[in-house]
Amino acid sequence: MSTLTAKTILAALFLTSLCLGQTTVARATIPFNFMVGGKQMPAGFYLVKEYNGALSLQSDTGEAVMALTHGDTRDSDGPTQLVFHRYGDDAFLSRVWLHGSTGAALQISKQEKQLAKAIQHPASTSVALRR
């Protein structure tokens, strides 16, 4: 099976599960370009959808990306937000907080790992989510 066919099937299954299950939806205006799931995304308005360990971002221009996540927790309820690691001008989506003290952490990409070796302590930037 080709990689394209496998990705198409995975995307169809993901979108079907979004339609059938409970999905958390939020909106954000991200004022800078960023990377997520190995894909460069432009600054702009985004819909953020989370369902059982999968995250979907769709821009107002129609660009979309999906990323697998794993559960994450914080000590107390905090703001609903997107958290980015910043290495100079490069930003990588790292966490999504949608439910108070629970959220989702994204896998670190190869590109971010390479930058992290050169820049030991990335800056952190947060963008508020709206329901």
- Tens digits of per-residue pLDDT, 1-13? 565 554 555 454 4
pTM of the model: 0.75
Higher-confidence position of 71 and 118: 118
CA 10 to CA 105: how far, in whole Å? 20
The pLDDT value given to residue 14: 53
Q: Say yes or no to pLDDT of 81 above 70.
A: yes
And the tokens for 10?
A: 């995975």
In the chain, alpha helices (H):
3-20, 110-118
Over residues 24-66, the pLDDT tens digits come to 688 999 999 999 888 899 999 999 887 776 778 888 888 888 7
The pLDDT value given to residue 13: 47
CA 131 to CA 129: how far, in whole Å? 7
